[in-house]
Structure formats: C-alpha cells, structure tokens
C-alpha cells in the first residue's frame, strides 16, 4: 500500500446534472457550489452510500474536480483541485486516473460519476466508481 492520500476524481458535469435544481441556468455557479461542497468531503471523506469503499469514507482525500464547457473557468480552492478541459471531461478523467496509477500503482482511486461508459473505463484502470450521491450532502 502507498503512503499517498487516496485520490477521488469527480465528474462535475455528471454530478451537477444528477439533480434537477436549475443548474442549467448557471453551469459555472453549479460547478462552484459543487467544488465548495467537496472541501468537506476532502477533509472528512465521502458519504457512505453502499458503493463507496471504506477507505474513501474517511479523510483526508486528494480531490480533483474535472470541469468542462461553461464551467471551465473555475479554479481550485484549498482541499479541491480543479482541472478544466476544452475536450472531453471523460477522457481527462481517464487520463488523470491512468497517470495516478502509473505514478503509484498502489494508490487508491475512486471516480464519482453515474456515466456507465466512464465507470467501465476507470474500472479497467483499477479505480472504484461511485455514484453522485457520495458527494451530494444535504
């Protein structure tokens, strides 16, 4: 096992889009709210939803939020790094997971998304997919 913090990569578009709360009127604002909520998850761990591995239920976690489109201008905050992409967010997530695995094959990694194709792609790289409810706390 590695000494590095577990990595959690969050598919911003998928997580924001999982709740019909008017996010489409302000995509950047919705991504900002998600980023700010993730600060708590980075410190304390993800919500226990059944799909979240035990190691991700306690912090600290290394959290990376991947944004695209109109949310691309979002910047990181202490506890949450933000990666903006002008291309496919899914491809960027796969790239980040592969790079983490290549740098440290023992590092634990989870990807927060409900996208079936992305879940399959990151599972093939050794990451654990978890659903959006893991980061949506009321």
Residue 28: is its pLDDT beyond 70? Answer: yes
Neighbour-count burial for 14-40, b at 16+ CB within 10 Å, e otherwise: bbbbbeeeebeeebeebbbebbeebee
**pLDDT-based confidence at residue 138 (cuts at 50, 70, 90):** very low
Q: Mean of the pLDDT values across residues 19-27?
A: 70
**pLDDT tens digit string along 49-96?**
888 999 999 989 999 999 988 888 899 999 999 999 888 889 999 999
Prediction pTM value: 0.93
Q: Mean per-residue pLDDT for 26-47?
A: 91
Per-residue pLDDT at 109 exceeds 50: yes
Residue 125: the pLDDT is 96
Res 21 pLDDT > 60: yes
Which residues, in sequence order, are CB contacts of 89 under 8 Å at separation 6+?
Answer: 11, 12, 13, 66, 67, 68
Calculate mean pLDDT across residues 21-40.
85
pLDDT for position 25 = 75
Mean pLDDT of the chain: 90
d(CA 68, CA 74): 9
Residue closest to 52 by CA, chosen among 109, 125, 118, 137? 109
């Amino acid at each position: 096992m590695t000494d590095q913090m577990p990595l959690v990569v969050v598919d911003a578009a998928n997580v924001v889009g999982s709740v019909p709360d008017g996010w489409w009127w302000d995509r950047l604002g919705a991504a900002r709210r998600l980023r700010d909520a993730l600060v708590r998850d980075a410190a304390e761990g993800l919500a226990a939803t059944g799909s979240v591995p035990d190691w991700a239920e306690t912090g600290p976690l290394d959290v990376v939020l991947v944004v695209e489109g109109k949310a691309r201008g979002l910047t990181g905050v202490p506890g949450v790094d933000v990666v903006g992409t002008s291309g496919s967010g899914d491809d960027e997530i796969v790239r980040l997971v592969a790079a983490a695995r290549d740098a440290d094959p023992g590092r634990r990694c989870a990807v927060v998304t409900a996208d079936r194709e992305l879940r399959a792609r990151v599972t093939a790289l050794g990451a654990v997919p978890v659903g959006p409810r893991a980061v949506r706390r009321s």
